[in-house]
Chain A
Amino acid sequence: MPGVLILEQALNGLQFGLMLFLLAAGLTLVFGVMDMINLAHGSLYMVGAFVAAWLGALTGSFVLGVLGAVALTAVFGMVLEAGLLRTLYARDHLSQVLATFALILILNDGTKMVFGNDLPLSAPAALAGPVELLPGLIYPAYRLLIIGVGLALAVLLWLLVQKTRMGALVRAGASNREMATAMGTNIPRLFTAVFGIGAALCAVAGALLGPLLAVQVGMGENILILAFVVIVIGGIGSIRGALVGAILVGCIDTLGRTFLQHALRELLPPQWASAAGPAIASIAVYVFMAVVLAIKPQGLFPARG
């Protein structure tokens, strides 16, 4: 196995993992602090991607499309939180599942009504070409941009959570919501803001992954489950856990796909290997989650202390 290929796949894994982190960050806070199962989180990712594709075509600028999508999706998320999701915090998990599943139906079909089943979205022309990172390692410039944006947002989020007053309140809420409320934190208002930030991060992930994975209705459904796996591995409510979990899951998924296929080709007929490789890589992610839970039932970085 050539080292260049391993390096290239590791970068792909990092890139996918960072985008998973953007989805998982908002999800883990809502889950951890409000004990709320939000299945519609993936729909925000879809809405962000569609708005970015639509605005991008309208303005002729990819960057304007992404920025507009981030702003609009954040507003949309806050309206959703204040208008509906807030009333679900006190309800049991079953009600939350039913309500947010209903939201998936509404947002999927609503998006179809407004934008159609899919929209074209391509990477900006300036980044369409490859870059030679090391002698022999040629990597698409657009994927490098995604890694850069992902890392920058991860640092920004870390600063926000660790160094600001709002971040301290969020951490207090994740560790013990009743105590934080008793100490005078206005958790509902805080959470509208947190939800807006989570929605904005979803939009970034949707808009940036759009050119790679296609912008279509239902795109949020598979990645949502991966985001749930990430936050369970990382520890529900922990941003740091979400980052570590996301990069682990991204790398297992991406590296597994490539290398299992290589390895299986030695053992199985080629048509079996090409189907079994991706399937086993996908299964590996869930097996990894089960193993982590068996060893550390609260995830790698438990938030509740």
Chain B
Amino acid sequence: MRPAVRALPIAVAALVALALPFVLRALGLDFYLSLASRIVVFGVAATSLNLVLGYGGMVSFGHAAFVGVGAYVTGVMISEGVQSGVAHLAATVAITALVALVIGAISLRTRGVYFIMITLAFAQMLYYLANSVKGYGGDEGLNIRARSLFSLGDRVLDLKDPLAFYYVALAVLVLTLVALARFVPSRFGRAALALRDDDVRAEALGFPVYRSKLVVFVVAGALGGVAGALSVNLQGYVSPNVLHWTQSGTLMVMVILGGVATVWGGLVGAAVLMLMQEVLGAYTEHWEFWTGWVLLAVVLYARQGLVGVVKTLRDRKAGPR
């Protein structure tokens, strides 16, 4: 019974996500497809941060660095005339993983607030580096005309087409969520949770703490890079602001809002935050003000995030076990 109860909402969500472009077109709301795409891209980015933050127990305050590096790698390749989406993806994953390996290898030698501050420091370094590369836009950012192209047999999938982009991004998101859901009960996933909760004990039990944390950090960094590659394809633009610390802060806010260490937390947080901006923005130019109050209310009254609220309600409905 229980697996069926859990599977139903997921099936409904998947159907809605698949049918969304057609529903929007039928209603004449095509404009909202780009919002849906943005939510999907930020959903991937926030989920990758949730892997570090929630499952790895590492409070990384520099995750925007990986998203930004990914966006720049793909953006620079496109502006240099490389069109193959496979090449963009391969280079993005390789370079962001390498950057994450270097940053992680150094940062993981520290703990607590020092880890927070040193990941922030690395992100700031990359932010100023992006500001200084005059050849690729400098502080004004880089505009790209073309997008990633994927050839499927004799057809070509161009991410410039909003519909194609939406489904590609959705596929990435689904793969991410499935991988995360499978990771949690896996051997390595359980080991990761064990060392998050008590790394001294995990070390004593023989888990390679440092190496395991580094693996989680690098995988999450590469996934953040993929989100960045998607975002530059969506916006046609990348600027140093993608790497600014307030972007790292926004990603953290999405994860905490949705639910730390929950499979759906990153996506839910991204969707709620961006829909809130959209809805409030329609009524008032001061949407940040009201968003702030909502976030404060979540901190004070919904300590487990929105996914936690849903779980509590569901358990209450299911009655005492």
A residues apposed to B, CB below 8 Å: 31, 35, 37, 39, 84, 87-88, 91, 93-95, 97-99, 101-106, 108-110, 112-113, 221, 225, 228-229, 232, 236, 271-272, 275-276, 278-280, 282-283, 286-287, 289-290, 293, 297
Inter-subunit contact A93/B134 (CB<8 Å): no
Inter-subunit contact A290/B106 (CB<8 Å): yes
B116 within 8 A of A: yes
- For B245, the chain A residues whose CB sits under 8 A away are 221, 225
- For B252, the chain A residues whose CB sits under 8 A away are 94, 97-98, 101
Inter-subunit contact A37/B113 (CB<8 Å): yes
B253 within 8 A of A: yes
The contact size tier of chain B is 35 or more
Q: Given A98-B256, A275-B134, A93–B289 Cβ distance below 8 Å?
A: no
B239 → chain A, closest Cβ, in Å?
14
Inter-subunit contact A112/B286 (CB<8 Å): yes
Inter-subunit contact A286/B121 (CB<8 Å): yes
Tell me which of A91, A225, A279, A290 contacts B132 (CB under 8 A). A279
Inter-subunit contact A287/B120 (CB<8 Å): no
- For B287, the chain A residues whose CB sits under 8 A away are 109
Q: How far is the CA of A278 from the CA of B139 in the complex (A)?
A: 12
Inter-subunit contact A101/B295 (CB<8 Å): yes
B167 within 8 A of A: no
Inter-subunit contact B125/A225 (CB<8 Å): no
A89 → chain B, closest Cβ, in Å?
13
User: Which 10 pairs, one residue from A and one from B, show the smallest C-beta to C-beta distance?
Assistant: A279-B132, A106-B292, A105-B292, A102-B295, A109-B289, A286-B121, A109-B288, A282-B128, A99-B299, A102-B292
Inter-subunit contact B121/A297 (CB<8 Å): no
B174 within 8 A of A: no
Tell me which of A88, A104, A112, A225 contacts B120 (CB under 8 A). A225
Tell me which of B125, B131, B256 contacts A275 (CB under 8 A). B131
Per-residue contact bits, chain B 139-175, to A (CB 8 Å; 1 contact, 0 not): 1000000000000000000000000000000000000
* Residue of A91, A105, A280, A289 ringed by the most chain B CB atoms within 10 A: A105
Inter-subunit contact B296/A102 (CB<8 Å): yes
- For B299, the chain A residues whose CB sits under 8 A away are 88, 91, 95, 98-99, 102
- For A109, the chain B residues whose CB sits under 8 A away are 286-289, 292
Q: How far is the CA of A87 from the CA of B132 in the complex (A)?
A: 42
Q: How far is the CA of A221 from the CA of B245 in the complex (A)?
A: 9
B44 within 8 A of A: no
A39-B249, A97-B61, A287-B125 known; 4 new pairs, CB 8 Å cut-off, are: A87-B300, A94-B260, A276-B132, A279-B128
Inter-subunit contact A236/B113 (CB<8 Å): yes
User: Which residue from chain B places its CB closest to the CB of A111 in the assembled complex?
Assistant: B289
User: Which residue from chain A places its CB closest to the CB of B255 in the assembled complex?
Assistant: A94
Inter-subunit contact A286/B292 (CB<8 Å): no
Per-residue contact bits, chain B 213-232, to A (CB 8 Å; 1 contact, 0 not): 00000000000000000000
Per-residue contact bits, chain B 109-142, to A (CB 8 Å; 1 contact, 0 not): 0100110111011101100110110100011000
Inter-subunit contact A99/B296 (CB<8 Å): yes
B29 → chain A, closest Cβ, in Å?
28
Q: How far is the CA of A275 from the CA of B110 in the complex (A)?
A: 32
- For A275, the chain B residues whose CB sits under 8 A away are 131-132, 134, 138-139
Q: How far is the CA of A102 from the CA of B301 in the complex (A)?
A: 14
- For A35, the chain B residues whose CB sits under 8 A away are 113
B211 within 8 A of A: no
B303 within 8 A of A: yes
B289 → chain A, closest Cβ, in Å?
4
User: Which residue from chain B places its CB closest to the CB of A97 in the assembled complex?
Assistant: B252
A183 → chain B, closest Cβ, in Å?
25
B115 → chain A, closest Cβ, in Å?
10
Q: How far is the CA of A293 from the CA of B286 in the complex (A)?
A: 40
Q: How far is the CA of A275 from the CA of B132 in the complex (A)?
A: 5
B97 within 8 A of A: no
Inter-subunit contact A97/B256 (CB<8 Å): yes
Q: How far is the CA of A232 from the CA of B59 in the complex (A)?
A: 16
